[in-house]
């Protein structure tokens, strides 16, 4: 029975990968246990992610697509003292899972699309997404929104990696971001799992 469940889970996951690649959609809340695999914790711990994304004390930070909060606690700790983290997700069910998981440590939550942000211009020092950009149907609009809400010296940090069905190759990501006025800066990781930071180019702010 255990073997059957394992095979069924693998088949189901592969079918999901194929379907998701053809029609990008938000990561479903019922699959959030996959975000906490031992391998992920070893290779991309929340603390390592916060460092890669460039989160520092005093920053005003936006996390787009937090899932059930795998990276959120470490990010929230990293902005202290004096900073603030806000989490945005398009799925109310996912935000409920995050609130249940983090309890009193839950930062402010906003339910909205990652390509239509309900924030004023120049509101954030840093915007970060981890394995999320590929799930947003209007990626061009999303990147333009991140440019709008970032301060002139702000940072956009994007993590991509396999086996995410919406994995975006580094070269393609850079081309997309340049189209929104971003210039690539620091990069961490390797071809199959990387974090790329961007700064706003002159005239984009």
Q: How many CA atoms lie within 13 A of 107 on its CB side?
A: 26
User: Which tokens in the block code for residue 107?
Assistant: 């930062």
CA 147, chain centre distance (Å): 16
pLDDT score of 14 more than 70: no
pLDDT of 149 reads 98
pLDDT of 148 reads 98
DSSP state of 131: S
CA dist 124 and 118 (Å) reads 12
| pLDDT tens sequence across 132-189 | 999 999 999 999 999 999 999 999 999 999 989 999 999 999 999 999 999 999 999 9
163-192 b/e (C-beta count within 10 Å ≥ 16 → b) = ebbbbbebeebbebbeebbbeeeeebbeee
pLDDT of 32 reads 80
pLDDT of 204 reads 63
pLDDT score of 77 more than 70: yes
CA dist 188 and 59 (Å) reads 21
CA dist 52 and 156 (Å) reads 11
Confidence of residue 98 (pLDDT cuts 50, 70, 90): very high
Instruction: Give the residue carrying structure tokens 């940072």.
Output: 155
| DSSP string over 162-180 | TT-TT---HHHHHHHHHHT
| pLDDT tens sequence across 114-130 | 999 999 999 999 999 99
Closest by CA to 67, choosing from 37, 40, 90, is: 90
Separation of first and last alpha carbons in the chain:
57
pLDDT score of 13 more than 60: no
Q: How many CA atoms lie within 13 A of 77 on its CB side?
A: 13
pLDDT score of 10 more than 60: no
Q: Which has the higher per-residue pLDDT, 122 or 39?
A: 122
CA dist 6 and 144 (Å) reads 41
CA 186, 189, 190, 191 torsion-angle sign: negative
pLDDT of 18 reads 53
pLDDT of 178 reads 97
pLDDT score of 19 more than 80: no
pLDDT of 195 reads 98
Q: What is the mean pLDDT of the chain?
A: 90
pLDDT of 33 reads 82
Class for the domain spanning 2-200: alpha beta
pLDDT score of 39 more than 80: no
Which H/E stretch holds residue 9?
Answer: helix 2-22
Confidence of residue 22 (pLDDT cuts 50, 70, 90): low
């Amino acid at each position: 029975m255990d073997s059957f469940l394992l095979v069924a889970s693998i088949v189901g996951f592969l079918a999901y990968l194929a379907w998701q690649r053809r029609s990008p959609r938000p990561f479903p809340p019922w699959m959030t246990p996959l975000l906490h695999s031992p391998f992920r914790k070893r290779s991309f711990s929340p603390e390592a992610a916060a460092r890669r994304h460039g989160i520092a004390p005093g920053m005003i930070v936006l996390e787009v697509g937090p899932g059930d909060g795998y990276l959120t606690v470490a990010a929230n700790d990293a902005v202290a003292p004096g900073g603030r983290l806000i989490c945005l997700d398009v799925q109310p069910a996912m935000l409920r899972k995050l609130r249940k998981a983090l309890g009193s440590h839950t930062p402010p939550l906003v339910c909205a699309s990652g390509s239509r942000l309900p924030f004023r211009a120049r509101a954030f020092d840093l915007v970060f997404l981890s394995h999320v950009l590929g799930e947003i149907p209007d990626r061009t609009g999303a990147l333009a929104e991140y440019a709008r809400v970032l301060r002139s010296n702000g940072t956009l940090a994007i993590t991509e990696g396999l086996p995410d069905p919406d994995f975006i190759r580094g070269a393609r990501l850079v081309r997309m971001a340049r189209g929104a006025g971003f210039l690539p800066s620091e990069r961490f990781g390797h071809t199959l799992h990387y974090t790329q930071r961007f700064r706003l180019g002159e005239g984009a702010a």
